[in-house]
């Protein structure tokens, strides 16, 4: 049980809010969801699921400059893909009328004023945590004038940036957020993606968030630790219009997710996308939900990772090795093992009948018949990995060499190499071998042990596929802590495009199908894949150093 669940259980025991549990997930639709958001999603939806409550989805759409329906759609899609179900979908913009009325009420009660200073002037008066700020010269303007000017702001009579509405609290408060925070600003340059041009003034986060929680009946408003310092202000606003003892939402905070070798900020991700440094929000190197999905991460793997890291009240950095370990752990259970040859050399089995193709039935995962079987065509000419043959074998090399060792072809027969052919440069072009017809896997002779098993694909039925070998996006562990620009820290080897020859059974592979390419890694069918050109993305290599650590 995490510490938020403990709070919820205590609240339930005490009968708070008549036992009602309501959370929300409040993304700003200004980018795609990343795995950091998933940590918040698992918390918000998880609490609701566990305690018979409701989690609503609320788009925090108070800044039309950066927001768009494209983001709204991707966010709902990603949450559903992760397997969570929201109660209702709300938008902060649903409350623009109520928030505006509340701002008017604040003005009438002498708790808000229109400031005409520039952003720089206001910032210069803020003071420091140990030094009080200065009052704005507009702080004590008459209520009537504030009402008139705020109305003028909304009517579009005032230019963007020329005036703001500020709460009148305390310029000397040790909490800087209390020093007359801006609660409304003018935005006329961009229409809102839902309310169009209806509004010329928009509420700031601090004024919109807690109030929206209250309007919806949220009981536990859970967010990340950077909002701890905002919490007193969150409560202050509620105190101004909700009598003590009545229902009110409460804010709780947990630690953000940060992962090594990546960035966890929509702003930086947007930059990578806009500047073409990645192929898009769903580039398989991106830590976005759609990027991870395209990389071959399953929803189960991502959720299992979030479970593993847990929730605390201290910021930290998670080793990306744990994320990679988790996806291997999940795919290991379900991904069919198939052959894909990356550096092919031809193997000819001289004593196999010319023109004959036999179908071998192979288990998708050895010893797990429930994962199914497939047909592997076998014939006289096969592709094998170049490194599986050595002309100069030695006693420590157990694969093919003319030394005469027996080697098993995965799921098929035992062979012995007899020789090879080279081109003018000395590159091996063909390997020759003989097979033992009585040694077929799955028959009695199939039990005969060899020191090595190698992978193969039958030549006439092999499919040429593209493989995109992805690696970590950044070359340094913590790009955000580096003094250099994060864009200079990208890993130049984060993508290698290559080809491979895969089994014919993969001709039916569909987008998002997962495989383990034997000895190579976990791969997924890319969204760009077609019947004519199969494309596989490497999700993760097979080597896992995590458990050793």
Site of interaction with ligand ATP (CB under 6 A): 26-28, 36-37, 39-40, 60, 223-224, 256-257, 264-267
CA distance 217 to 202: 22
Least Å distance, CB 257 to ligand ATP, is 4
Instruction: Report the sign of the C-alpha dihedral through residues 109, 112, 114, 117, in that order.
Output: positive
CA distance 523 to 321: 17
Paired residues of 435 in beta bridges: 415
**How far, rounded to the nearest angstrom, does the alpha carbon of residue 126 sit from its chain's CA centroid?**
37
From residue 4 to residue 43, the character string flagging contacts with Mg ion as x (rule: CB under 5 A) and all else as - is ------------------------x---------------
CA distance 10 to 18: 13
Least Å distance, CB 26 to Mg ion, is 8
**How far, rounded to the nearest angstrom, does the alpha carbon of residue 142 sit from its chain's CA centroid?**
50
Q: Which residue is nearest to ligand ATP (CB)?
A: 36
Measured from the CB atom, the residue of 28 and 343 that comes closer to Mg ion is 28
Measured from the CB atom, the residue of 37 and 185 that comes closer to ligand ATP is 37
Measured from the CB atom, the residue of 230 and 250 that comes closer to Mg ion is 230
Residue 139 binding target from ligand ATP, Mg ion, none, CB below 5 to 8 Å by type: none
Q: Do you know the residue count of the chain?
A: 549
Catalytic residue, candidates 58, 166, 266, 293: 266
How many C-beta atoms lie closer than 10 Å to residue 326's C-beta?
Answer: 24
Q: Could you tell me which residues come within 8 angstroms of residue 275 by beta carbon, excluding any fewer than 6 positions away?
A: 487
Catalytic residue, candidates 28, 358, 381, 406: 28
Residue 235 binding target from ligand ATP, Mg ion, none, CB below 5 to 8 Å by type: none
Token pair 């909700």 in the structure block, residue: 242
Residue 454 binding target from ligand ATP, Mg ion, none, CB below 5 to 8 Å by type: none
Least Å distance, CB 224 to Mg ion, is 9
CA distance 465 to 340: 9
How many C-beta atoms lie closer than 10 Å to residue 291's C-beta?
Answer: 25
Least Å distance, CB 452 to ligand ATP, is 46
Phi then psi for 416, rounded to 5 degrees?
-135, 130
CA distance 230 to 206: 7
Least Å distance, CB 518 to Mg ion, is 44
Least Å distance, CB 28 to ligand ATP, is 4
Catalytic residue, candidates 141, 256, 268, 519: 256
Q: Is 458 a catalytic residue?
A: no
Residue 265 binding target from Mg ion, ligand ATP, none, CB below 5 to 8 Å by type: ligand ATP
Measured from the CB atom, the residue of 58 and 538 that comes closer to ligand ATP is 58
Structure tokens at 197: 């041009």
Can you tell me whether residue 173 is helix, strand or coil? coil
Instruction: Report the sign of the C-alpha dihedral through residues 347, 352, 357, 363, in that order.
Output: negative
Measured from the CB atom, the residue of 223 and 454 that comes closer to ligand ATP is 223
Residue 257 binding target from ligand ATP, Mg ion, none, CB below 5 to 8 Å by type: ligand ATP
Measured from the CB atom, the residue of 265 and 416 that comes closer to ligand ATP is 265
Structure tokens at 123: 């910032």
Residue 37 binding target from ligand ATP, Mg ion, none, CB below 5 to 8 Å by type: ligand ATP
Least Å distance, CB 346 to ligand ATP, is 50
Measured from the CB atom, the residue of 214 and 378 that comes closer to ligand ATP is 214
Q: Is 256 a catalytic residue?
A: yes
CA distance 524 to 98: 48
Closest CA to 338 of 527, 519, 106, 168: 519
Residue 266 binding target from Mg ion, ligand ATP, none, CB below 5 to 8 Å by type: ligand ATP
Q: Is 28 a catalytic residue?
A: yes
Residues near Mg ion, by CB under 5 A? 28
As annotated, the active-site residues are 28, 256, 266
């Amino acid at each position: 049980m995490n510490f938020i669940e403990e709070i919820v259980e205590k609240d339930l025991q005490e009968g708070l809010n008549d036992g009602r549990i309501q959370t929300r997930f409040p993304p700003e639709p200004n980018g795609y969801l990343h795995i950091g958001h998933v940590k918040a999603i698992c918390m918000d939806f998880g609490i609701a699921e566990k305690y018979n409550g409701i989690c609503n989805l609320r788009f925090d759409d108070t800044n039309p400059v950066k927001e768009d329906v494209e983001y709204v759609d991707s966010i709902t899609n990603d949450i559903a893909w992760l397997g969570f179900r929201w109660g209702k979908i709300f938008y902060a913009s649903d409350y623009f009328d109520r928030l505006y009325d509340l701002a008017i009420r604040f003005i009438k009660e002498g708790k808000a004023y229109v400031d005409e200073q520039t952003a720089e002037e206001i910032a210069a008066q803020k003071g420091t945590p140990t030094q009080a700020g200065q009052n704005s010269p507009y702080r004590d303007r008459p209520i009537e004038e504030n009402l008139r000017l705020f109305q003028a702001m909304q009517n579009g009579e005032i230019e963007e940036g020329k005036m703001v509405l500020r709460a009148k609290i305390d310029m000397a408060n040790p909490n800087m957020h209390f020093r007359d925070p801006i609660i409304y600003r003018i935005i006329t340059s961009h229409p809102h993606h839902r309310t169009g041009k209806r509004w010329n003034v928009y509420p700031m986060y601090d004024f919109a968030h807690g109030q929206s929680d209250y309007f919806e009946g949220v009981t536990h408003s859970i967010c990340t630790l950077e909002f701890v310092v905002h919490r007193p202000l969150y409560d202050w606003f509620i105190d101004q219009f909700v009598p003590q003892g009545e229902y009110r939402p409460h804010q709780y905070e947990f630690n953000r997710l940060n992962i090594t070798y990546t960035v966890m900020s929509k702003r930086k991700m947007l930059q990578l996308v806009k500047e073409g440094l990645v192929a898009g929000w769903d580039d398989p190197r991106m830590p976005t939900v759609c990027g991870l999905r395209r990389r071959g991460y399953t929803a189960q793997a991502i959720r299992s990772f979030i479970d593993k890291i847990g929730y605390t009240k201290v910021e930290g950095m998670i080793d990306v090795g744990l994320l990679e370990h988790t996806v291997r752990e999940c795919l290991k259970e379900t991904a069919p093992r198939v052959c894909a040859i990356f550096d092919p050399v031809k193997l000819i089995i001289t004593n196999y009948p010319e023109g004959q193709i036999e179908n071998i039935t192979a288990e998708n995962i050895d010893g797990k018949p429930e994962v199914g079987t497939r047909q592997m065509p076998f014939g006289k000419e096969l592709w094998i990995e170049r490194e599986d043959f050595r002309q100069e074998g030695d006693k420590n090399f157990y694969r093919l060499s003319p030394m005469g060792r027996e080697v098993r072809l995965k799921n098929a027969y035992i062979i012995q190499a007899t020789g090879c052919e080279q081109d003018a440069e000395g590159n091996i072009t063909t390997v020759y071998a003989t097979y033992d017809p009585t040694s077929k896997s799955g028959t009695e002779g199939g039990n005969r042990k060899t020191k090595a098993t190698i992978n193969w694909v039958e030549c006439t039925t092999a499919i040429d596929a593209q493989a995109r070998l992805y690696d970590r996006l950044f070359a340094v562990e913590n790009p955000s802590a580096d003094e250099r620009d994060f864009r200079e820290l990208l890993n130049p080897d984060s993508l290698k495009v290559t080809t491979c020859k895969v089994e014919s059974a993969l001709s039916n592979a569909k987008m998002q199908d997962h495989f383990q390419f034997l000895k190579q890694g976990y791969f997924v069918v890319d969204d760009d894949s077609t019947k004519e050109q199969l494309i596989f993305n490497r999700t993760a290599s097979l080597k896992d150093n995590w458990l050793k650590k």
